[in-house]
């Protein structure tokens, strides 16, 4: 039950870029982190470039990915692969104007602290 928030600042995203990000982020969650694609939610947010700075300076293009997963369900190697491949995806879709400080975060949340359809992930683990 992962949730991925992708924030993008810069020139407006074309519909095709949004579609690629949705499809490929979902694919990375499934292929690299082993999450069910059918339960993976991806939110792409276009944010004002004027509100984003790196090193105290305005940027022309920026991106951030925060992928929330249940704590303890992925190895350090899987998370490192996800971070590397997600960064490559951002550069492929948005170009090389992205600053070095383009972060991809895997946030691990305790199984009893989140869920979907009214049930926590901990409840789902017990019910198996």
d(CA 39, CA 35): 8
Contact 43, 5 (CB under 8 A): yes
Choose the catalytic residue: 2, 11, 58, 99.
Answer: 2
Nearest alpha carbon to residue 108 among 58, 72, 77, 75: 72
* Catalytic status, residue 2: yes
Tell me, what DSSP letter sits at residue 104?
E
d(CA 100, CA 124): 39
d(CA 88, CA 44): 17
List the catalytic residues.
2
């Amino acid at each position: 039950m992962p949730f991925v928030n992708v924030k993008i600042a810069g020139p407006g995203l074309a519909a095709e870029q949004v579609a690629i990000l949705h499809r490929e982020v979902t694919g990375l969650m499934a292929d690299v982190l082993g999450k069910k694609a059918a339960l993976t939610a991806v939110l792409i947010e276009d944010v004002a470039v004027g509100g984003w700075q790196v090193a105290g300076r305005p940027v022309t293009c920026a991106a951030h990915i925060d992928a929330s997963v249940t704590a303890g369900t992925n190895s350090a190697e899987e998370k490192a692969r996800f971070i590397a491949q997600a960064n490559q995806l951002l550069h492929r879709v948005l170009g090389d104007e992205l600053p070095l400080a383009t972060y991809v975060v895997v946030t691990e949340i305790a199984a009893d602290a989140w869920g979907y359809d009214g049930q926590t992930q901990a409840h789902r683990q017990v019910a198996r």
